[in-house]
Amino acid sequence: MSMAEKKTAAKTSAAKKTAAKKTADKKPASKKSTKKPAVKKTAVRKPLVKKAASKKPAAKKAKKADKPKPEKTVTVTLTKSVIGTKASHRATVRGLGLRRIRHSVELEDSPAVRGMINKVSYLLRVEP
């Protein structure tokens, strides 16, 4: 036997072995598994029970009409779009409570609000 014949014989025998393994590994499709699928147990939650109310008198809630209005207010209106502006400027406009063009908001006149207005003044119209 020549060297080439030995190689081809080895290849064919190896191919036969792998084919035999593949067919042995396959299970017949006609047999169905008799095992039942495992059922997962879930934890049962206890119903929530409200605690007994304390005997302390409830504090009176302030109504919206009872809130004192800030003496100094400023009305801010968005006049230009925030498209194409810096992300921090867009966030500042949202922080002022402005959502769209020609949307007006009345804010307390404080140093923090004034700083925000100064940052994005090119987008706003401010009225005292």
CA 117/CA 120 separation, integer angstroms: 6
Residue 71: the pLDDT is: 80
Mean pLDDT calculated for residue range 43-54: 66
Domains with residue ranges and CATH for the chain: 68-127 (3.30.1390.20)
Nearest 5°: the CA angle 113, 128, 103 is 70
Is 0.85 surpassed by the pTM of this model? no
Looking at per-residue confidence, does 67 or 118 come out higher? Answer: 118
Average pLDDT, the chain: 79
pLDDT at 25 over 60: no
CA 11/CA 80 separation, integer angstroms: 77
> Residue 109: which pLDDT band, with cuts at 50, 70 and 90?
very high
Burial class of residue 93 (count of CB atoms within 10 Å of its CB; 0-12, 13-18, 19+): buried
Contact 94, 119 (CB under 8 A): no
Structure tokens at 91: 């966030």
pLDDT at 119 over 70: yes
Residue 75: the pLDDT is: 97
Looking at per-residue confidence, does 30 or 107 come out higher? Answer: 107
CA 15/CA 50 separation, integer angstroms: 72
Residue 18: the pLDDT is: 63
Best CA proximity match to 76, nearest among 59, 55, 92, 87: 92
CA 73/CA 68 separation, integer angstroms: 12
